């Protein structure tokens, strides 16, 4: 019974990483399987031979050869060193190729193993904001947004642009692709594709406080027509996501239900990314531009008539009142 208990406990687990529904996740699974197989080529023989040697050269076996002067075998040395060396070379080559092919920032060049991305097919852009403790998804092409729910058409590349409001999180849909971090004031990217219709689990894979356990969402893989119907439903049933509405939404909360937004204020994601949602606040990109101009002026660069007598902020076209 004690042997069956761990199996009973594991029966409730879903090996979703080993049964993916997106091409990127399929390639990652294959990399895991091939790496495990190559490593087992060394591990299994070592384990087997450990028992074989222990049995063959046990104290009670008088038929075993006894050669106290033996200290070297060229054949054994070649086997002991050559096989692991070849495995390491194979693992290194496979990892090098896969690291570049599966780079999350690299646009996809195939839909699956049999199909390349058609010429002219643009990826679906989804802007992701990790909040406390919920997920906001914005669709700039469709002009909609959703909370704790995301959808995409089957066999169309997806480009996720990911950021965070405060602390670091990790965006992870195991059936789709690997995880990627979400950080405040920074943007990470993830390219992926879903190849099977269905509803898949997504969540934060990085502990981020009290509401971390409930920071989950559903990813819907839909046909093209169903995705268009879903977008139309969001437009029809959703509210408006203005900056004021966003500031209320970003307040920490747990177990938030799915919310739909049929209208999104233009430039909202860029304001979130650059941490300037509040009226009158200076965006990070402008702040960095000011710092760059200031450092150039300190070095004697850009002191011509156009910038002479102006602050770096005024050089960007902003009035002096913006400094107050």
Total domain count, the chain: 2
Pair 152, 238 in one domain: yes
Inside any domain, residue 205: yes
Pair 95, 169 in one domain: no
The DSSP result for 74-132, as a single string, is HHHHHHHHHHHHHHHHHHHHHHHHHHHHT-TTSPPSEEETTEEPPTTPPPEEEEEEEET
pLDDT in tens, 46-58: 899 999 988 988 8
Inside any domain, residue 297: no
Pair 134, 216 in one domain: yes
pLDDT in tens, 2-59: 656 655 555 555 677 888 899 999 999 999 999 999 999 989 988 999 999 889 888 8
Pair 135, 243 in one domain: yes
Pair 147, 204 in one domain: yes
Pair 119, 98 in one domain: no
CATH (domain of 152):
2.60.40.420
pLDDT in tens, 271-314: 999 999 988 888 888 888 887 876 666 555 544 444 444 444 55
pLDDT in tens, 210-253: 889 999 999 999 999 999 999 999 999 999 999 999 999 999 99
Domain around 31: 16-57+75-102
Pair 120, 260 in one domain: yes
Q: CA Rg, the chain, in Å?
A: 28
64, 56 Cβ separation under 8 angstroms: yes
């Amino acid at each position: 019974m004690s042997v069956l208990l761990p199996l009973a406990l594991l029966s409730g687990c879903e090996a979703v990483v080993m049964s993916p529904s997106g091409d990127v996740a399929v390639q990652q699974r294959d990399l895991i399987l091939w790496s495990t197989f190559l490593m087992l080529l060394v591990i299994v023989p070592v384990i087997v031979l450990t028992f074989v040697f222990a049995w063959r050269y046990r104290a009670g076996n008088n038929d075993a050869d006894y050669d106290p002067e033996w200290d070297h075998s060229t054949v054994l040395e070649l086997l002991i060193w050559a096989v692991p060396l070849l495995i390491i070379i194979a693992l290194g080559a496979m990892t090098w190729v896969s690291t570049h092919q599966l780079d999350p920032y690299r646009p996809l060049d195939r839909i699956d193993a049999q199909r390349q991305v058609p010429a002219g097919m643009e990826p679906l852009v989804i802007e992701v904001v990790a909040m406390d403790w919920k997920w906001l998804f914005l669709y700039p092409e469709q002009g909609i947004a959703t909370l704790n729910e995301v959808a995409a058409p089957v066999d169309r590349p997806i480009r996720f642009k990911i950021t965070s409001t405060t602390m670091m999180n990790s965006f992870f849909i195991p059936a789709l692709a690997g995880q990627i971090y979400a950080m405040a004031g920074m943007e990470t990217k993830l390219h992926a594709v879903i190849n099977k219709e269905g509803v898949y689990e997504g969540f934060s894979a990085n502990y981020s406080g009290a509401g971390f356990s409930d920071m989950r969402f559903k990813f819907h893989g839909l046909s093209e027509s169903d995705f268009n119907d879903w977008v139309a439903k969001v437009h029809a049933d959703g509210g408006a996501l203005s900056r004021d509405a966003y500031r209320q939404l970003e307040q920490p909360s747990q177990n938030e239900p799915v919310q739909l937004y049929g209208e999104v204020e233009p430039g909202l994601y860029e304001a979130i990314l650059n941490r300037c949602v509040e009226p009158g606040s200076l965006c990070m990109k402008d702040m960095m531009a000011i710092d760059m101009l200031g450092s150039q002026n300190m070095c004697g660069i850009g002191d011509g008539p156009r910038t002479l007598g102006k602050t770096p902020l005024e050089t960007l076209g902003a009035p002096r009142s913006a400094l107050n």
